[in-house]
Structure 1
Amino acid sequence: MGFLRRRWRGHGRLAVCGLAALVVLGVAVVVWTSHRGEPARSGDSSTARVDRGEVVTAVATTGSLEPAQTRTLGFSTDGTVTAVNVRPGDQVKAGQVLAEIDAAAAKKRVNDRRQSLDDAEDALDEAEAAADAGTGACPVASVRSGRVLPVALVAGGSQTPSPSATPSPSAVPSVSPSGQPSPSRSVQPPASQPSRSAGGQEPGGGKAPGGQVPGGGRNAACSAQRSGDPVLAAQQRVTSAELALAEAEDQLAGTRIKAPIGGKVLTVAGAVGADVGAGSTFVTLADVGGMQVAADVPEAYAGRLEMGQSATVTLANRPNEEFAARVVRIDPVGTADGNLVRYGVVLAFEEVPAELLVGQSANVRVRTGEVAGVVRAPSAAVHGDDTVVIRTATGDLVRAVSVGLRGDQYTEITSGLAEGDEVVTAGAKGGPS
């Protein structure tokens, strides 16, 4: 009996071992069946399909938002601040009064200058009236007595006191008994009689040959020959007074700061009671309705930028939104940043988003090249030697391709691949294993 028990136990162990072997063999068969027909893989990898679409090259950089226009405003005269009507962050309209200073001194200056102008105009009226009271002669001051005497205009521009126009008896021609004028007694003007003026006028007050009235062009002649002309001096005084009054009125207007544009107040430099100087900045105003992005790019990429290129902007506080923009300015001169030179670029939004913050950061991507409707593969699948790894049913194959435009996400394939091909985008490159 003992012998039989030992023998049964040995057969039981063999049966258990055989059953275990059958289970392992069945699992191996299932695994082999499920993987039959798949290509052997060369390490961990992922794949993508070759398709047809758009390939874009772009320059990516970062920047910050700034107003399209910023105004620095101040008072045009010295004074003490009497009113500050805004605070930083306030939205204002064009023409709104932002701040004021004491205007008493400026008002007094305007009144004084206006009185000076009135006096100058009265003096001009008197000078013109005195000039109009003359009898065709230019009034000049006598050197000896200081009295104003009329001076006749004589030929050659010389001036002599005008005597009475009584002709000399010698000027009367004598007639011979025969009724013919004596040839030895021709009419000659006396030496003391003024000759005819250069303008064809007779000094005696009659008409000159040609019908010209004596005294024509007197004002122009007087202005040309007189020094210290009372009318001219009075006119100059009026002009100076007008300029002084205009300056004083500008200073009076400058005691109030008005918004030249609608926008947002960025800074206010003082408070009521502060003393301010003429021309110093007191309020900074920005047009936030025209916000734009200021960025810079390394010199290696600056040459790809052109005016009008399209771009997308992503804001730090809106990471899932993209806003269309375009390049509106490229700095012609770079700025050194250590060993790197950068060029500034400004981008304007196609539609300015609401609730933008001045100075907030932005990510910028400028399109520098694009093609559409081409065969493309993920750029990660195209190696530097212009080869790709194709996944087939029998394994991975390395294939040479011809490429066109290389983009950040996709690369244009001009030959070597067809739509629908599966390419490896990650993992070791190699042939079928």
Structure 2
Amino acid sequence: MAAVVLTGAGAYALTAGEPAPPAQSGTARVDRGDVATAVATTGSLEPAQTRTLGFATDGTVTVVGVRAGDQVETGQVLAEIDATEARERVDDAREALAEAEDALAEAEAALDGGSGTCAVSATGTAAVVPVALTGGTTPTPGPNPTASPSPSPSGQPSTSPSPSRSVVPPAPSQPSRSSPPASPGSTARPGGGSVPGGGASPDCGGARGADAVLAARQRVTSAELALAEAEDQLAGTKITAPIGGKVLSVAGAVGAEVTARQTFVSLADVAGMQVSADFPEADAGHLAAGLSATVTLANRPGEEFAARVVRVSPVGAVDGDMVRYGAVFAFEEVPTDLLVGQSASIRVRTSEVTGVLRVPSTAVRGDGTVLVRTAAGDETRAVQVGLRGDQHTEIKSGLIEGDEIVIAGA
């Protein structure tokens, strides 16, 4: 037993003082190529546009022509409800419009077929049209026309003014017929009578007629609007696809009662599928629209699909102790048979230089030196670095293409 213990102790003494074997290292050649920095995350696929569709009026579902997962074309009928009441509303609205148009025609005919002395202005008000006067008397223009003096039997001219359209009174010694005296503030009419207030508007009902026409026109306009609304509701008894795409969901079956504007079918444009992902704020600051990216899908291992950044959210969302920013990526060529919501990995190139002298990033030490292997042995050489990428680092000076360098820990 003692011999065994001594032997073990001796073996320990022999091995304890040996230096540890040096870490293995490898070499690489300085070459020319691309250097890039990148950020990566995971996201999910979503359609470029989605539509939620419903009926324009309440009703009972009579036709459901699709189900979730179906591919549809633009204009295809997806579902219908009973349109009986909607058709009746359209018929009633058309009858109301016809009646309103007839009433307008009658009002216009009544206005035009009167004494011919009234016209309707563009504003719907009556305008007075001058008429020819009978009895040989012509009105004198002006606000206060007067008759010319005429001689009397005694040879003395009469100078007293008279209202417009007045008749010269006969001399007292010569009785004759004359128009009745006009009341104050009125104008004599030819052949007798006067217009209250001194106006020249004959009694053709111009104001009342214009009001009737205006009211009739308003009634026609209201009836036209009601008909348009009823026709829209009739058209809305069918749901048609506004875009081609895939049906995501159907909210009911035949016989279900639905209300207006309730979502019944949701539709997605899967031909424009894109990737949505969130990035921590440290990485999001390097993102910008137009940057290139690579997408890999969980159900297609080993395949990479080119994409680009199309939008970066300017507002972050708090996720625990971290703030994350959303970004959207568009495929350069959309793969076939994509599934809405499936997961995807995204790697975005945030900076890139091409055709530069480069070395593996692990070959550059923290103090900016590299170990170069030469025929005389390994030597440490200071270098000037440019862009530090995830895999390679740009070398601006200190090395030439073809130099062999040591990669520590390789």
Q: TM-score range by the shorter chain?
A: 0.7 to 0.9
> Which of 313, 316, 322 is equivalent to 1:331?
313
Aligned to 2:109: 129
TM-score by length of 2: 0.76
Q: Secondary structure at the match of 1:347?
A: strand
- Distance, in Å, in 2 between the alignment partners of 1:396 and 1:85 is 77
Aligned to 2:151: 175
- Distance, in Å, in 2 between the alignment partners of 1:418 and 1:194 is 119
Q: Secondary structure at the match of 1:369?
A: strand
> Which of 69, 74, 77 is equivalent to 2:57?
77
Task: Calculate percent identity across the aligned residue pairs.
Answer: 67
- Structure 1 residues 400 and 133: CA distance shift in structure 2, 3 A: same
Aligned to 2:407: 425
- Structure 1 residues 66 and 182: CA distance shift in structure 2, 3 A: farther
Query: Aligned-residue CA RMSD in angstroms?
Result: 3.7
State whether residues 293 and 308 of structure 2, in contact with CA within 8 Å, keep that contact through their aligned partners in structure 1: yes
Deviation at 1:342, TM superposition (A): 1.0
- Structure 1 residues 122 and 334: CA distance shift in structure 2, 3 A: same
Letter in 2 for 1:328: V
Figure out how many residues of one structure are paired with residues of the other and give that number. Answer: 351
- Structure 1 residues 399 and 275: CA distance shift in structure 2, 3 A: same
| Structure 1 residue 111 corresponds to structure 2 residue 101 | no
| Structure 1 residue 192 corresponds to structure 2 residue 172 | no
> Which of 77, 80, 100 is equivalent to 1:100?
80
Q: Secondary structure at the match of 1:106?
A: helix
Aligned to 1:406: 388
> Which of 351, 355, 374 is equivalent to 1:369?
351
* Structure-to-structure mapping, 1:329-368, within 5 angstroms: 329-368=311-350
- Distance, in Å, in 2 between the alignment partners of 1:185 and 1:412 is 117
Deviation at 1:352, TM superposition (A): 1.3
- Distance, in Å, in 1 between the alignment partners of 2:182 and 2:379 is 129
Letter in 1 for 2:211: D
Deviation at 1:272, TM superposition (A): 0.7
> Which of 52, 64, 69 is equivalent to 2:44?
64
State whether residues 42 and 396 of structure 1, in contact with CA within 8 Å, keep that contact through their aligned partners in structure 2: no
Deviation at 1:422, TM superposition (A): 2.5
In structure 2, list runs of 5 or more residues that go unmatched.
Answer: 1-20, 120-125, 138-145, 167-180, 192-199
Aligned to 1:238: 220
Q: Secondary structure at the match of 1:384?
A: coil
Superimposed CA distance per residue, residues 221-279 of structure 1 (whole angstroms, 9 cap, x where no aligned partner): 95xx6699111111111111111111111111111000001111111111111111111
Larger deviation, residues 105-114 vs 313-322: 313-322
TM-score by length of 1: 0.72
Superimposed CA distance per residue, residues 86-138 of structure 1 (whole angstroms, 9 cap, x where no aligned partner): 11111111000000011111111111111111111111111111111222556
Deviation at 1:175, TM superposition (A): 3.4
> Which of 281, 291, 302 is equivalent to 1:320?
302
> Which of 251, 255, 266 is equivalent to 1:284?
266
Larger deviation, residues 52-61 vs 332-341: 52-61
> Which of 46, 49, 74 is equivalent to 2:26?
46
- Distance, in Å, in 2 between the alignment partners of 1:349 and 1:61 is 16
Deviation at 1:384, TM superposition (A): 2.9
Larger deviation, residues 309-318 vs 242-251: 309-318
State whether residues 42 and 427 of structure 1, in contact with CA within 8 Å, keep that contact through their aligned partners in structure 2: no
Q: Secondary structure at the match of 1:296?
A: strand
Letter in 2 for 1:332: P
Deviation at 1:55, TM superposition (A): 0.8
- Distance, in Å, in 2 between the alignment partners of 1:117 and 1:152 is 29
- Structure 1 residues 152 and 53: CA distance shift in structure 2, 3 A: closer
- Structure 1 residues 196 and 48: CA distance shift in structure 2, 3 A: farther
Aligned to 1:15: none
State whether residues 262 and 287 of structure 1, in contact with CA within 8 Å, keep that contact through their aligned partners in structure 2: yes
Q: Secondary structure at the match of 2:362?
A: helix
Larger deviation, residues 387-396 vs 312-321: 387-396
Deviation at 1:302, TM superposition (A): 1.4
- Distance, in Å, in 1 between the alignment partners of 2:113 and 2:210 is 18
State whether residues 335 and 341 of structure 1, in contact with CA within 8 Å, keep that contact through their aligned partners in structure 2: yes
- Distance, in Å, in 2 between the alignment partners of 1:92 and 1:237 is 43
- Structure 1 residues 228 and 132: CA distance shift in structure 2, 3 A: closer
Deviation at 1:404, TM superposition (A): 0.4
State whether residues 294 and 348 of structure 2, in contact with CA within 8 Å, keep that contact through their aligned partners in structure 1: yes
Superimposed CA distance per residue, residues 280-332 of structure 1 (whole angstroms, 9 cap, x where no aligned partner): 11111111111111112111121211211122212222222222211111111
Letter in 2 for 1:64: S
- Structure 1 residues 204 and 299: CA distance shift in structure 2, 3 A: farther
State whether residues 45 and 276 of structure 2, in contact with CA within 8 Å, keep that contact through their aligned partners in structure 1: yes
Letter in 2 for 1:404: G
Which structure has the bigger radius of gyration? 1
State whether residues 194 and 203 of structure 1, in contact with CA within 8 Å, keep that contact through their aligned partners in structure 2: no
State whether residues 154 and 196 of structure 1, in contact with CA within 8 Å, keep that contact through their aligned partners in structure 2: no
Aligned to 1:255: 237
State whether residues 290 and 309 of structure 2, in contact with CA within 8 Å, keep that contact through their aligned partners in structure 1: yes
Letter in 1 for 2:395: I
- Distance, in Å, in 1 between the alignment partners of 2:79 and 2:211 is 48
Letter in 2 for 1:50: V
Q: Secondary structure at the match of 2:304?
A: strand
- Distance, in Å, in 1 between the alignment partners of 2:323 and 2:283 is 11
State whether residues 372 and 403 of structure 2, in contact with CA within 8 Å, keep that contact through their aligned partners in structure 1: yes
